[in-house]
Structure 1
Amino acid sequence: MNNQDHHHPSRDDHEHDHSGHEQREHDDHSGHDHHEHHKQMVEDFKFRFWWVLALTIPILALSPMIQEFLGVDWRFAGDTWILAALSTVVFFFGGWPFLTGLVDELKKKQPGMMTLIGLAISVAYIYSLFVVFGLEGHLLFWELSTLVGIMLLGHWIEMRSVMSASAALEKLAELLPGNAHRVKEDGSTEDVPVEELQVGDHILIKPGEKIPADGIVVEGKTNVNEAMLTGESLPVEKGTDDEVIGGSINEEGSITVKIHKTGDESFLSQVIDLVRQAQDSKSRTQDLANRAAFWLTIVAISGGLITFFAWSLFTGQDLSFAINRTVTVMVIACPHALGLAIPLVVAVSTSLAATNGFLIRNRTAFEEARNLDAVIFDKTGTLTEGTFTVTDILNFNETISDDELLKYAAAVEVNSEHPIARGILEKAGDPWKVEEFNSITGKGVEGKVNGISVKVVSPGYIRDEKMEYPQQQVEEISSQGKTVVFVILDDKLEGAIALGDKIRPESRQAIDRLHEMEIECIMLTGDNRQTAEYVANELGIDQVFAEVLPDEKADKVKEVQSQGKKVAMTGDGVNDAPALASADVGIAIGAGSDVAVETGDIVLVRNNPMDVGHVIQLSKATYSKMVQNLWWATGYNVFAIPLAAGVLFAWGIILSPAMGAVLMSLSTVIVAINAKFLKMENK
């Protein structure tokens, strides 16, 4: 049962419609309020539950029916009035969420769980009050307090397990730095809040800083890491007249940028808008427990009316007997077990998911995972590791070893922050000392190592210098989507080093597992088609969407959905967030951006694509267990309600409220044990 489907007065507060908000700041504030409001509701259910539990103990001790059942006599003068007073507190304080929920559901003409609970506790309370004031019958205050307590516990367990109000918009906004270095007319800089930046302002961005707004480079040269925004794994070289995106990271040189987009027009704001729209448009499925509660409400009211009129009009029994039978039917029709049937499975499956390496943030989407037809994977950081690694060393002349070739290259790359340099250094280990280091603009680096002139250069440099090398061998590696740099020692081309975004070893197993489940596997990436096709062929991917712009990713998800397929999206970047929100099930890789994590319905903590299959398997098992529990929770009504109504009264068989309580307790125990079986069956 998803907390967002509860029909109580707070529901409208839960479902903030962000579409009317025009400013990101307002959206962020609303998202924060939404999250805080949800936390307050969890605390409210918890607070009410503990108070009701404390009051239930004396209520049970003072109840004549419980004393009779236990074979004790603790009666004293005025005990009934104390019992009524304590039960009144339980009814109004503990039962308030259900009473207001009943009103809310009836206003919307959508009777469900709140209607059923509200009706049962109201009948038990009002009837018991009449008994206190002289009506012949049984006090059902104990039934009222235990029912309220169990239902509060169920809602508390459920809401604590599924609390997932999205903070995606806040996380997106955090990508922008708080301040910017604005360049004044005299060339000096001043630090100003990003909100004060205007189109036409010049700003200075130092190495390692985030770019505060979209703009054009007017001075300087650098490499910019846009992976979190565009999904492109390689840093992009930026120079004069090149465009930069707010939120991306300046990795190397200092640059001066002229701002040309701020606020709602910026790329990041557009991504925020896409996420918001996708989240707002996602439909919610009606939960199973509410459907069961709806029919039990009909059964309770119908059964109660039929019982009352049958006994009062067509038999010789007095009115108090008819009322007693009616109340018993209506109270029994609201089983305690129904309040725990779904929350207990939710709690067990949430715990089980966490131990298996994924976190469930949206219950409805998690349950929907059992019906998936296709899974769309982002490439960089999801199917691949998202970091550059040396994959091949090509030794053209064999005059030195592969290890020495790598050591020479690492020595001159030691001062570079470029991911290719980091990949080479990681593979080479402790570098040799470099002297006379120099950067070859746009082509590579050079220096002296152990008295030898060393250059590590791009293919462009080799072409310009018309140096010969085994082209077929290099082109074959390049066709695999790898980046190749060449190593020159004393002006002689000795070899090349290839680096690639390494495919995760478990990715192939993940795809095979999904194919076994007859689920189509699709890859979606901003990388070039050559790189994408290579990864897809290696993994056995069914379909590839390559060179997809960030604002097109959600459209690709919708394109697959338009074919009538239930779709999951798996990704880790900001650019994946709109697609994650648009999919029927959004699965975020945990070590990716906080934005993707906050937008995803399910978060894979271990960065293991194999867990996508585990998610689907657990979803199927969880749904099956929910259905079983609902049958156990409501099935006993088939026997209990007719017996409570008195259909076998002529044969001396009638179900007393006490025996009804025993049946309900048994049903609750069965539901609890069955929920635990989910853990045993899915270890």
Structure 2
Amino acid sequence: MSTHFSQHTAGPIRLHVSPDQGLSNEQVAQQASKGLSNGFPDVRTKSIKKIICDNILTPFNLLNVILGLLVFLVGSYKNMLFLGVAICNSFIGAFQEIRAKKTIDKLAVVAAPKAHVIRSGQKRQISVEELVLDDILALESGNQICADCLLLRGECEINESLVTGESEPVAKKPGDLLLSGSFVVAGSCLARVEHVGRENYAAKITNEAKYFKKPNSEIMTWINRIIKYIGIAIIPIGLLLFYKQIFISGQGLQRAVVSTVAALVGMIPEGLVLLTSMVLAVSVLRLSRHHALVQELYSIETLARVDVLCLDKTGTITEGTMQVDHVLPLSSVSTEEISAIIAALTASSPDTSPTFSALRQAFSQCPDWQCTNAVPFSSARKWSGATFAGKGSYIIGAAEFVFKGTLPADIREKMARYAASGQRVLILAHSAEGFVEKQLPQKPEPVCLLVLSDKIRPSAPQTLAYFAEQGVAIKVISGDNALTVANIAKRAGLPDAGNYIDATTLTTDEQLAEAAERYTVFGRVTPQQKLALVKALKARKHTVAMTGDGVNDVLALRESDCSIAMASGSDASRTVSQVVLLDSNFASMPKIVKEGRRSINNLQRSASLFLVKSIFSSVIAILFIFLAFDYPFQPIQQTLISALTIGIPSFFLALERNKERIHGKFILNVLQKALPGAVTMIINILLLVIISSFYPFNREEISTMAVIITGFTGLTILLKISLPLNLPRGALFFSLCAAFVIALLFFRPLFNLIFITTPMLLALAPMMAAAACVMFSLWHLLEKYAGSRKNG
């Protein structure tokens, strides 16, 4: 092996080695010792330190600490108990998120792109971070280019859309630079690594393209808005209430501080954000048991809301393997010659697709022909070919693209007959002329038809039936013949599979947008058309999920609301997808959707509990700024009510099984559940104020009655959202009721409560009855309104 060195004044010593030999083990160690390796693995998840910081250093936790400090400074130490709830919430949220992180990191190793290098004359597979400067990369169709490199040998076509935004493949020849973050879509080559780690031209862009796609999450959007609105309102409300308690009501400093803190603590939905993170983290852990790697937490929510699922035929409906069924000669060329031609063609191509693998297996006796030029297959061209010395050029691919409508009617009829049975038909053609700039030679002549068939996945009919039952529209988008794909989809049990169209007939954006809604099966779709179809569906307010396993799916995967890749597919598809099916089994999809629905439905239910408290506390805090009464709650009382009616039940309910379909908008669903309870609680306190105007209850009696009526209403809300009661829900509800009664009877001093007197009981009894009537009436009205809005 000949090696020579060059010294650049602005860089390290370079090792220029033979592409066939690559670096030796000693040279690899030498480069790594100088720090010239590709760096550490890409971080797909937050560090443990960041998770802990994110769960502890939140705006509401900071506010809780300030409020706790104020209570401490005035000597009311037991009223600091609300800090314990915040600490527990942070601990639980961080613990579950760390568990999910560890699971994701382990699974990510399986799905992570690998680099193929030539070292010591042998081809090896290594992790991307083990690459060193001057390594020789062996690249082929579907590979991601993981470091800037210089093409040394071979030719290829590169998709640089993740780096430059341009979707058209770029032809590369020896001497051209290949940018990291781009993908090989056709051809193969050997290339020398020119930059590593942060020196790569597209390092930042690639990382953003991989992991920081903005999630399409209603929950995240609305929770952030709720936090923002409450955060803005809490300071002026607190200052005005404190001013009123001190300067108008004439309260002492301690009582004014304690009651103001109680009002503000009630406004804070401190567990809502952490509950959301925890629920989604638990979902990640559950999905890992079904061999699904979730690379973006909020994609679980998105997938649960999906109403259109775009599938590629290969790897989803079919197993991804093919077999040659028939060879139909169309000329005087003998069967033996056809076998030799196909064997020579497959030997000249690096294509490892299921089609070429089936052809290699069926035609394995390769003749000793000299290939002078080869055009690799690309999803845009739909054909590949090679020129052989003294033999001319041979092309194999889709007849529509090779002959562009010039085939005789009898050949088209034969093709249609086989396509109608769900088989794939390719044409082998010959021309005496060569390829010019990867363009078809003039006047190709048909040689034979090749009939191949896909194998339907056994689980496909059941999976497709599930989505049909759930109201999710399936769109099969394939580069194969439309009739072939339609018949395969029909065999797999896809409803309306006969509603298909050939995408080559869609020449305008308007036609394609109309077809996106109208048709079920799309054939002869180019990568750009896949992207346009996804955009068209999103433009019509659909939530679109896209599955794919090839580099031709990358653009559409990135555009979709939720992208799902097969682990057996290309580096490109796995890298840009939010969910990776590690067993490449489409049958896992219903489990993922069910897990998403469980998470979102339960989150909506639990979020309504938090909003009841926040709405109620915010409104009464404002009211008591103007009412001539003292604020009736203390922080420790708010802690009791929140823990028993919100904190404990929300965590249990959020992890229940729930298979209901998701309807409507997150915030509207939550408000529909929260408003009746919040309004009822507000009415309760106003009634208590009115009653206290006629009967001289003292401050402690009013406070105790406020706790009882608010706790009663909170437990009634919990009962309503827990219906229908099963054993776990019933046990939870009655345990919390018992805990509330025990607190009232045996822990009165701790919670600053007094014994219930007869006048108090006489006032509470009608208030409780009224509260139940008001709340259930409001629920009925809102449910009736929601039903009429849905039907209208």
Taking structure 1 as the reference length, the TM-score comes to 0.55
Q: Distance in 2 between matches of 1:680 and 1:533?
A: 31
The amino acid that maps onto 1:177 is V
Deviation at 1:579, TM superposition (A): 2.1
Secondary structure in 2 matching 1:375: strand
Q: 1:305 aligns with which of 225, 228, 239?
A: 239
Sequence identity (%) = 21
* 8 Å Cα contact 1:590/1:603 also seen in 2: yes
Q: 2:637 aligns with which of 648, 652, 659?
A: 659
The amino acid that maps onto 2:93 is G
- In the alignment, which residue of structure 2 is the partner of 1:678? 657
Q: 2:183 aligns with which of 268, 280, 293?
A: 268
- In the alignment, which residue of structure 1 is the partner of 2:100? 161
Deviation at 1:674, TM superposition (A): 0.3
Instruction: Determine which structure has greater relative contact order: mean sequence separation of CA pairs < 8 Å that are 6+ residues apart, divided by chain length.
Output: 1
- In the alignment, which residue of structure 1 is the partner of 2:6? none
The amino acid that maps onto 1:524 is I
Deviation at 1:571, TM superposition (A): 0.9
- In the alignment, which residue of structure 2 is the partner of 1:569? 546
Deviation at 1:548, TM superposition (A): 3.9
**For residues 611 and 31 of structure 1, do their structure 2 counterparts lie closer, same or farther at Cα, with a shift above 3 Å needed?**
farther
Secondary structure in 2 matching 1:655: coil
Q: 1:518 aligns with which of 466, 471, 478?
A: 471
Q: Unpaired segments of 5 or more residues in structure 1?
A: 1-27, 49-93, 99-113, 183-192, 198-202, 204-209, 213-224, 230-240, 248-256, 395-408, 428-433, 443-457, 461-469, 487-495
Q: Distance in 1 between matches of 2:64 and 2:358?
A: 67
The amino acid that maps onto 1:289 is I
- Cα deviation, 1:321-356, whole Å, max 9, x if unaligned, reads 211211222234335533543133223333333344
Q: Distance in 2 between matches of 1:155 and 1:385?
A: 40
The amino acid that maps onto 1:503 is I
Secondary structure in 2 matching 1:325: helix
- Cα deviation, 1:111-148, whole Å, max 9, x if unaligned, reads xxx333321222212442x23xxxx5446555435524
> What are the equivalent positions in structure 2 for 1:332-347 lying under 5 Å apart?
332-347=266-281
Secondary structure in 1 matching 2:261: helix
Deviation at 1:569, TM superposition (A): 0.8
Q: 1:669 aligns with which of 643, 648, 658?
A: 648
* 8 Å Cα contact 2:142/2:571 also seen in 1: no
Q: 2:67 aligns with which of 103, 123, 132?
A: 123
Tell me if 1:377 matches 2:319.
no
* 8 Å Cα contact 1:571/1:580 also seen in 2: yes
* 8 Å Cα contact 2:321/2:455 also seen in 1: yes
- Cα deviation, 1:498-554, whole Å, max 9, x if unaligned, reads 642222233343334333333332223333545444434544274344444446543
Q: Distance in 2 between matches of 1:196 and 1:288?
A: 49
- Cα deviation, 1:472-491, whole Å, max 9, x if unaligned, reads 999744664346999xxxxx
**For residues 591 and 652 of structure 1, do their structure 2 counterparts lie closer, same or farther at Cα, with a shift above 3 Å needed?**
same
Q: 2:453 aligns with which of 500, 504, 509?
A: 500
The amino acid that maps onto 1:373 is D
The amino acid that maps onto 2:457 is R
Q: Distance in 1 between matches of 2:656 and 2:536?
A: 39
Secondary structure in 2 matching 1:591: coil
**For residues 512 and 243 of structure 1, do their structure 2 counterparts lie closer, same or farther at Cα, with a shift above 3 Å needed?**
farther
Tell me if 1:604 matches 2:544.
no
Q: Distance in 2 between matches of 1:167 and 1:349?
A: 15
The amino acid that maps onto 1:500 is S
- Cα deviation, 1:80-127, whole Å, max 9, x if unaligned, reads xxxxxxxxxxxxxx99x52xxxxxxxxxxxxxxx33332122221244
> What are the equivalent positions in structure 2 for 1:312-327 lying under 5 Å apart?
312-327=246-261
- In the alignment, which residue of structure 1 is the partner of 2:9? none
**For residues 602 and 326 of structure 1, do their structure 2 counterparts lie closer, same or farther at Cα, with a shift above 3 Å needed?**
same
Deviation at 1:586, TM superposition (A): 0.5
**For residues 287 and 173 of structure 1, do their structure 2 counterparts lie closer, same or farther at Cα, with a shift above 3 Å needed?**
same
Deviation at 1:607, TM superposition (A): 3.1
Q: Distance in 2 between matches of 1:351 and 1:265?
A: 32
**For residues 388 and 568 of structure 1, do their structure 2 counterparts lie closer, same or farther at Cα, with a shift above 3 Å needed?**
same
Q: Unpaired segments of 5 or more residues in structure 2?
A: 1-35, 123-130, 145-152, 160-171, 187-201, 329-338, 371-393, 397-410, 429-448, 501-518, 662-792
> What are the equivalent positions in structure 2 for 1:224-373 lying under 5 Å apart?
226=141, 244-245=156-157, 259=174, 261-264=176-179, 268=183, 282=214, 284-285=216-217, 286-298=220-232, 300-373=234-307
Q: 1:591 aligns with which of 552, 559, 568?
A: 568
* 8 Å Cα contact 1:557/1:583 also seen in 2: yes
* 8 Å Cα contact 2:230/2:267 also seen in 1: yes
Deviation at 1:604, TM superposition (A): 2.7
Q: Distance in 2 between matches of 1:344 and 1:589?
A: 27
Q: Distance in 2 between matches of 1:372 and 1:534?
A: 25
Deviation at 1:625, TM superposition (A): 1.1
Q: Distance in 2 between matches of 1:573 and 1:421?
A: 15
* 8 Å Cα contact 1:45/1:155 also seen in 2: yes
Q: Distance in 2 between matches of 1:264 and 1:387?
A: 32
The amino acid that maps onto 1:481 is Q
Tell me if 1:150 matches 2:122.
no
* 8 Å Cα contact 2:284/2:297 also seen in 1: no
- In the alignment, which residue of structure 2 is the partner of 1:52? none
Secondary structure in 2 matching 1:526: coil
The amino acid that maps onto 2:90 is M
- Cα deviation, 1:561-607, whole Å, max 9, x if unaligned, reads 33443221111223323321221110122333344233221223443
- In the alignment, which residue of structure 2 is the partner of 1:56? none
The amino acid that maps onto 1:351 is L
Q: Distance in 2 between matches of 1:376 and 1:543?
A: 10
The amino acid that maps onto 1:589 is M
Secondary structure in 2 matching 1:500: strand
Deviation at 1:669, TM superposition (A): 1.0
Q: Distance in 1 between matches of 2:181 and 2:234?
A: 57
Q: Which of 496-505 and 169-178 deviates more?
A: 169-178
Q: Distance in 1 between matches of 2:523 and 2:653?
A: 46
Secondary structure in 2 matching 1:501: strand
* 8 Å Cα contact 1:300/1:329 also seen in 2: no
* 8 Å Cα contact 2:303/2:562 also seen in 1: yes
Tell me if 1:624 matches 2:601.
yes
* 8 Å Cα contact 2:419/2:425 also seen in 1: yes
Q: Distance in 1 between matches of 2:588 and 2:110?
A: 27
**For residues 141 and 325 of structure 1, do their structure 2 counterparts lie closer, same or farther at Cα, with a shift above 3 Å needed?**
closer
Q: Distance in 2 between matches of 1:472 and 1:642?
A: 75
**For residues 681 and 674 of structure 1, do their structure 2 counterparts lie closer, same or farther at Cα, with a shift above 3 Å needed?**
farther
- In the alignment, which residue of structure 2 is the partner of 1:481? 423
Q: Which of 665-674 and 573-582 deviates more?
A: 573-582
The amino acid that maps onto 1:293 is I
**For residues 476 and 122 of structure 1, do their structure 2 counterparts lie closer, same or farther at Cα, with a shift above 3 Å needed?**
same
* 8 Å Cα contact 1:369/1:585 also seen in 2: yes
* 8 Å Cα contact 1:372/1:568 also seen in 2: yes
**For residues 342 and 471 of structure 1, do their structure 2 counterparts lie closer, same or farther at Cα, with a shift above 3 Å needed?**
closer
**For residues 244 and 553 of structure 1, do their structure 2 counterparts lie closer, same or farther at Cα, with a shift above 3 Å needed?**
same
* 8 Å Cα contact 2:234/2:267 also seen in 1: yes
